[in-house]
Amino acid sequence: MAGIELVELPRRTLPKVDNKRIGIIGMGRIGEALLTQLVELSETLGLDSISVYSRSKEGDRVRGVIKQVSPMDSNFHINPVEDFYELGQTSDVIVVVVGRKEGGNKTREDLTGQYFRDIKEIMEGIKDSKATILIATNPVTPNCLVARLYSQQEKPNIIGFTRLDYIRAKHILTGWLREDFNSQFKDTDVEVDVLGPHGYGLLVTNLRIGSPDKKRNHIYDNQGLSIFFDSFEGRIERLSEETAKYGESTFRDTAPEGTPSDPAIQISESLYYILNGGKDTAAIDINLSEMCRSGLELPRGPTYASVPVLYSQGYPKIDDSFDLNEIPADHRRKLLGVLTEEETRIKDYLLNHKNGFLRLREHFGA
């Protein structure tokens, strides 16, 4: 039209949708429960799809599981995958929940080598994948080490799932407060940090008791508990031991079926923080020299242990509000001893089983 200048309007910029893709390796009871949980929470987690790995001989069963879960959300993509490399290339986070049948004459310790082979095969199979690896297969911290040593990734981001220890420690401490003080601590908020391996030898520390809206003491030693308990001697040691026992006793009491929904829910919670940022408890590679005096013999790094972490863009770092130097020296020495014993168990396994694990042998000089 004459006299009218046509002006091209700027295009409206839509916010970028950061779709996230999860891969699952291990479709036992926990893997099935995790798949169901993730589909239910797909919108909350910001998931675009889930890829489920299965060996060819397990393909029909895995496809059956996917078929059963799919009606929960007909618009959500669940993809069966029979190749580790494909899984690695199509996942932002890979959750490893491989299970081996225990019982009879086989304990978890007896199955250590089989788990090591599983993790080695996975890391060699995914090759140069950029995916974060969340190890939720026991023994968690040794499996993290194996994953790191056999990783072919340019920037390996290997995280051990130890959130259950944090949940259990909070639960036990809350129960103690309610038992000793009845209704006075009925709605009291409790926070703790957990250090060390997943299982016996962990240390529950940095206790915070009271309303988060008010200034709370950060309790690292038994004396600090004296304002809450008349009998406070050895409380932190007892809390740490009972946290480890809690997991062992529930595993024993619910065998063989177990309670797969419990770990699945907590794995989903950890995935939320990995994908969206926030604080969690996880096993990562830590610098032991920061918590131990020079001159002490340290395990050969990388050393994976539980710590309170903060996630930023999927990568964890130790929470800045947690001060390793506040932990009493005797607790630090004991924790170092536990981590050294864990290293010794791996060395002993390698010495008694000569086949395979060349890179692991080279690492330890075994």
Q: Where are the domains of the chain?
A: 20-161, 164-340
Contacts of 21 (CB under 8 A, 6+ apart): 47, 48, 49, 50, 51, 90, 91, 92, 93
pLDDT tens-place values along the chain, 366 residues long: 344 343 443 433 333 335 699 999 999 999 999 999 999 999 999 999 999 999 888 889 999 999 999 999 999 999 999 999 999 999 999 999 997 766 556 665 667 888 999 999 999 999 999 999 999 998 999 999 999 999 999 999 999 999 999 999 999 999 998 876 555 666 678 999 999 998 889 999 999 998 877 888 899 999 999 988 888 999 999 999 999 999 888 888 887 778 899 999 999 999 999 999 999 999 999 988 766 665 667 888 899 999 999 999 999 999 988 888 889 989 988 999 999 999 998 988 888 887 788 999 999 886
User: How far is Cα of residue 125 from the mean position of the Cα atoms in its chain?
Assistant: 21
- What architecture does CATH give domain 164-340? Alpha-Beta Complex (3.90)
Threshold 0.85, pTM exceeds: yes
Note the pLDDT tens digit of each residue in 316-332. 999 988 888 889 989 98
pLDDT at position 15 is 35
User: How far is Cα of residue 149 from the mean position of the Cα atoms in its chain?
Assistant: 18
Domain 20-161 belongs in CATH node 3.40.50.720: yes
What is the H or E stretch that residue 47 is in? strand 47-53
**DSSP percent split of the chain into helix, strand, coil, nearest 5:** 45, 20, 35
20-161 and 164-340: identical CATH topology: no
